[in-house]
Structure 1
Amino acid sequence: MEIGKAIRLERIMDRNTGKSVIIPMDHGFSLGQIYGLGDMSQVISDVSEGGANAIVLHKGMVRHGHRKHGRDIGLVVHLSASTSMNPDPNDKVSVCTVEEAIALGADCVSIHVNLGASNESRMLEEAGAISKECTRWGMPLLVMIYPRGDHIDPTDPHAIGHCVRVAEELGADIIKTSYTGDPASFAAITGACAIPVVVAGGEKGDDLAALAMIRDAISAGAAGVAMGRNAFQRENPSGFIRAICRVVHGGEDPHTALEECR
């Protein structure tokens, strides 16, 4: 791996465990002024104090508190976007470049690809171009990729496995995708992939259920979790993220981790 990518990846992936807890906070672009992302400086501080390895932001939000105080944290600048006002929310386009992300101090960039969507071919074309730029600049690439479109089951192991393979073939350094729902089918997917695969956290749900999902995914070879609303919309985001970190990096039982981090 190029030395630039290797150096930057150390700020995203824990060097001791090889895993990562990533907190995406790019939801405002697609959903608007949602609960949990009002005071960005405060939520970034809360996430950092919780011990997360990295956050995901759109370029305009980097200024709102990142690295101004408190514990340092890895920065992933998200290059893709769409809004819920679009009749096709799966239509992702590029709104930032690799060079812009470098100027902002990014440690990594991320893109979003929906396989099976009506504009899949354009998303793949843009992903290929961005991957080329990442190689040129030594910038790690996180590919968030999902099976989404008409008549597609978003939890189908075959479809999720296809997504992971496409991301790897595109040149991703880290892949974020959906958990299949059971360790056996997900282990088959991670076992056939040579780069880290982290699972998406999804919408806010039960505390213990979220941690149990992470535990099962880790047992199946996942390299961590990228959890947004399921983390920053908690009453105590810092405490819940500490519990996530204990499950991901320490292999702790979800119930124990939750009780000790309340």
Structure 2
Amino acid sequence: MFLGKAIRLERVFNRNTGKTIIVPMDHGVTVGPIYGVVDLKGTVDKVAEGGANAVIMHKGLPRRTHRGHGTDIGLIVHLSASTVLSPFPNAKTMVGSVEDAIRIGADAISIHVNLGDEKEMEMLESFGRISSEAASWGMPLLAMVYARGAGIRDEFDVEVVKHSARLAEELGADVVKVPYTGSTESFAQVVEGCCIPVVIAGGPRMSCHRDIVQMVYDANQAGGAGLSIGRNVFQDENPALLVKALNGVVHEGKGVDETMAFLEASLQGA
């Protein structure tokens, strides 16, 4: 691995645990200024305070959210996009370049691919091209790979998720983000079939903290490399506290009950 890539990855991953807590905040392009990303600078401050390792955002946002104070946090610039207003919402198109990310000062880049979509061919072409360009610059690449085409019956099926993760590795990604498959046993198969770090997506908004903590704990036990969770973190009533609690699970190996006791005591004392 090039030294430059290794140094950048250390800004995104905890160098002692080899794991990461990433909070994506690229939702404004997809669905508009939803709760939690309206005051984006404030939200970045909160998740940084909680100890998140990195955030993900599009190239126009770092100028609004750059932090000249407090705890450092890694920056991952997202290069692909689509909107819910499109007749093809799952078809991601490239809206940025590796050079854009370098000029902004990014520590890594990310792209999103939806396998099974009718535009899969174009998304894979973009993936391959960006992967080659990122490698030449020593820029780490995180690939968000989901299966969301018309013929996909269950995007959380372990065979589908295993395929998604392996594809990311084989096309040159350094990290892959996939859906959690629902159990430690099944997710361990995903990790086993992929030789790059695998982080879990947060999925739909969850109803309680225990569900989030349990999912992160189970993925951690399966050998996962951490998480990349957006709405379930930045739309929480106390993002800093939730991230701090998840740090205990991901980086300190704490259990679900211990983490929930910390969360409940902290919320009662707030």
- Normalised TM-score (structure 2): 0.95
- Deviation at residue 202 of structure 1 after TM alignment: 1.6
Residue 147 of structure 2: aligned partner: 147
- Deviation at residue 188 of structure 1 after TM alignment: 1.2
Residue 247 of structure 1: aligned partner: 249
- Deviation at residue 59 of structure 1 after TM alignment: 0.6
- What are the residue-to-residue correspondences of 1:6-155 with 2, within 5 Å? 6-152=6-152, 153-155=154-156
- Deviation at residue 255 of structure 1 after TM alignment: 3.0
- Deviation at residue 195 of structure 1 after TM alignment: 0.8
Inter-partner Cα distance in structure 1 for 2:77 and 2:260: 30
Residue 158 of structure 1: aligned partner: 159
Inter-partner Cα distance in structure 2 for 1:235 and 1:38: 14
Unaligned runs of 5+ in 1: none
- Deviation at residue 161 of structure 1 after TM alignment: 0.6
Unaligned runs of 5+ in 2: none
Residue 229 of structure 2: aligned partner: 227
Inter-partner Cα distance in structure 1 for 2:190 and 2:237: 34
Q: How many residues align?
A: 262
Inter-partner Cα distance in structure 2 for 1:9 and 1:258: 30
Contact 2:142 2:174 in 1 (8 A): yes
SS in 2 for 1:250: coil
SS in 1 for 2:65: coil
RMSD: 0.9
Inter-partner Cα distance in structure 2 for 1:175 and 1:167: 6
1:238 alignment partner, one of 230, 240, 246: 240
- Normalised TM-score (structure 1): 0.98
SS in 1 for 2:60: helix
Residue 259 of structure 1: aligned partner: 261
Inter-partner Cα distance in structure 2 for 1:69 and 1:94: 32
- Deviation at residue 68 of structure 1 after TM alignment: 2.3
> Match for 1:28: what amino acid?
G
Q: Percent identity?
A: 52
- Render the CA deviation track for 1:162-183: whole Å, top value 9, x for unaligned: 1111100110000000011111
- TM superposition outliers: structure 1 runs of 4+ over 3 Å: none
